[in-house]
Structure 1
């Protein structure tokens, strides 16, 4: 399947590539070429329902092949059961025999997007008022395009890095039901992607309403998702003779206990550094509480202040929340079964068993069953705050974002880093791109990225990768 798709793309001769907009004429020539790649990726539908990551991977492979990469440097992969969810690994060889490679990671798949819900066609790359619109413009085709553009430029410049640079474009990050390319590579092609560290999505910056960048973050670790099925059962009976012993009522009581339960506060090196550094830049009560909690996790007054912010509350602990609900079998019968999905985001270092035990203790009813659902993740281990990785990020950020702090962050969501860290490839979410206070629309309607952010972030990451690649 991959070979047929690649052949079709090569036959097109990349004829469909063009700047495509008068606004692109205001860009530097190298930025115009980057924009072409970005546009092609956004306009290649890679949603699970109607798109194909395999086609997107083939298009990017065709570009790399046209730039001079050999067949031996391009590896396409997929599995027969998921032919549209394939990916690509590209290798740019370094000169050093001792420096371990670095890995650039990017997922090609995007969240579903319905044209009827959007102001613009989600699978058209549209530029309006200095903003790019389209599904994937933020999450994460701007980074995918940056990685591909970078490798093409390096080849054209005959750049000779000391450290080998690897690129893995995968599928399946956005949907549990999909074939996950990062997981597949970690389990089946570990040598192909071997690296000292990986750069991934998850970091980034925030700007004010006027577009002035206020902060940049590097993601150093993330929570891990664990799902549970909460279930109650009952003999049931006729609804004309109701009793208090009801599966739905019992489930509801259990759900309220989950709602009201706060897991114990936890800190690790990343979150301690985040609260200390980000808090020091604020002169309000929240800033003081951030600094205080970084020094003393038992400061309950500081915790109470931080818990008012839902993001900080989540960063400080494991969280679990009900997300799906079902129950009963007939409108005129007492329910024999009721159930809910409990979505947990486990703090690094926590396990499924420990999380389950704490929930069961909080519910306090042996009749409410908690059933762990697959996949059951390995105990998450965050990457270290390695100065060899963080230092270059800070140095290059000082050039592109002078006076803006670079803050380590822990994601309360999840990315493909969960597959690489367990096999010994510490993975970091890169700074560079940024959004304004209203957000980027990622996973939602009218997803977008400002032109300035796209171009500045791309330049930042290109210099950052060069910095790593030039080091032994």
Structure 2
């Protein structure tokens, strides 16, 4: 994911905690685990998720988890894209397991572009710097560390706790471990629900934690390829029927088309609660729109924020274009990629039909880049699950509001939801308003965010697995 910062301009902020303190002995040990995972290159080009999974498995075995509880997996076609599943057994035969999910692959990073080596964990000015420090090796390290601590404590949960560390989340079209497990080893990850990335907190960028969020649902990702063709000819004798012009008209239609506004339980709660925390025109409009989706004046105000606009509907945007074959010839073929983020419940087929209708030109061929992608499903906001998350936020981060949110991006949770495992992005760690360089340059995560988030998530997993 793409841990997208949730820019909530709240009317007040709350201190994130005390000033930085020396690390406890258990935190020092955890830092070593985190460092090993971060410094294991897991890019799709030159890295190995398989190696990272093996290193985490070694730590779990050293803590006392039996070989029979650990599954390292990969496929012959993608030997470096492997992953890890761990089953930590519970005492209850009636309770279904819970699943801890995190991806261990990272976005590409060139040393020449970065201030620091992207695959060396560097602590500086209260932050950890390196590729994957935030997205998503922090959570993968916390989940692994949680099971290490359980094993050392000889903790016996009532509910079985499973963990899946997978590859392929960051690269569309690559081998995806979460997808493979859901389709080929469903029994291995079977769970009543899964905890994943996507939630978390937002600071003001100056040491104050403003909000914690629980991701309850996300959009589905789909790319569409547009193609226009023409017989071409000599550029000295141009005609109106030009493949570039036809494509330009098509992508302009996409630009001007607005998918209709939609709400679900998550987004309605988000706009109502986060709007009520603000004392400005935007906050009032958010509350009004949640109460009445037909309020066009409120919608016009809310739409001025690009994130809010995207949370309210399916969105499609042209991202790549390629065409022509010579400087002095009329183009014969032009292609464009249109990236869509589909509102939960919307299918690729209906989105394609909507795009074709908006273009209004049958000569523009529209095809789905990947056929059969699952439909995004919004999980229920179970009080027995959401309640403990909120209660522990009040304990660990007093006075910080908790808000449900639907991601405008996408995570591997969509593959679990497709096979009946509702997936939630948890609170805990927090980021800064600038996104902390995730997917970009000089990715970083505040040391306090990692350590305090670890404390929160350890207690959350223990609480949820104990009842």
Structure 2 length-normalised TM: 0.94
Partner of 2:366: 370
Partner of 2:411: 415
Q: Quick check: 2:103–2:140 contact (8 Å CA) kept in 1?
A: yes
1:310 maps to which of 287, 292, 306: 306
Structure 1 length-normalised TM: 0.93
Separation (CA, whole Å) in 1 of partners of 2:155 and 2:348: 46
Separation (CA, whole Å) in 1 of partners of 2:357 and 2:102: 40
Structure 1 residue 91 and structure 2 residue 87: aligned? yes
Paired residue secondary structure (2:346): coil
Larger RCO: Structure 1 or Structure 2 (Cα < 8 Å, ≥ 6 residues apart)?
Answer: 2
Q: Which runs of 4+ in 1 moved over 6 A?
A: none
Taking only aligned residues, the RMSD between alpha carbons, in angstroms, comes to 1.1
Paired residue secondary structure (1:210): coil
Q: Quick check: 1:251–1:368 contact (8 Å CA) kept in 2?
A: yes
Q: 1:80 offset after TM fit, Å?
A: 0.4
When structure 1 is superposed on structure 2, of 460-469 and 323-332 the one drifting more is 323-332
Structure 1 residue 221 and structure 2 residue 217: aligned? yes
The runs of 5 or more residues in structure 1 that have no matched partner are 1-23
Separation (CA, whole Å) in 1 of partners of 2:194 and 2:63: 24
Partner of 1:438: 434
Paired residue secondary structure (2:318): strand
1:147 maps to which of 135, 143, 146: 143
5 Å-filtered alignment, 1:235-254, equals 235-254=231-250
Separation (CA, whole Å) in 2 of partners of 1:400 and 1:459: 8
Q: 1:382 offset after TM fit, Å?
A: 1.1
Partner of 1:208: 204
Deviations 1:42-69 (A, max 9, x none): 1100111111000000000000001101
Separation (CA, whole Å) in 2 of partners of 1:209 and 1:199: 26
Partner of 1:452: 448
Q: Quick check: 1:219–1:408 contact (8 Å CA) kept in 2?
A: yes
1:124 maps to which of 120, 123, 126: 120
Q: 1:343 offset after TM fit, Å?
A: 0.5
Partner of 1:15: none
* Cα pair distance change 1:402/1:25, threshold 3 Å: closer
Q: 1:217 offset after TM fit, Å?
A: 0.6
Number of aligned positions between the proteins? 448
Structure 1 residue 61 and structure 2 residue 57: aligned? yes
Separation (CA, whole Å) in 2 of partners of 1:50 and 1:356: 35
Structure 1 residue 386 and structure 2 residue 382: aligned? yes
Q: 1:25 offset after TM fit, Å?
A: 9.7
Partner of 2:190: 194
Deviations 1:10-59 (A, max 9, x none): xxxxxxxxxxxxxx992001111111111001110011111100000000
Partner of 1:259: 255
The runs of 5 or more residues in structure 2 that have no matched partner are 1-19
Separation (CA, whole Å) in 2 of partners of 1:395 and 1:67: 30
Q: Quick check: 1:44–1:51 contact (8 Å CA) kept in 2?
A: yes
Structure 1 residue 162 and structure 2 residue 162: aligned? no
Deviations 1:292-331 (A, max 9, x none): 1111111111110011100001000000011110111222
1:398 maps to which of 394, 399, 408: 394
Separation (CA, whole Å) in 1 of partners of 2:374 and 2:135: 26
Q: Quick check: 2:121–2:128 contact (8 Å CA) kept in 1?
A: yes
Separation (CA, whole Å) in 1 of partners of 2:36 and 2:195: 22
5 Å-filtered alignment, 1:31-70, equals 31-70=27-66
Q: Quick check: 1:226–1:376 contact (8 Å CA) kept in 2?
A: no
Q: Quick check: 1:25–1:32 contact (8 Å CA) kept in 2?
A: no
Deviations 1:47-103 (A, max 9, x none): 111110000000000000011011100011000010001011111111111111100
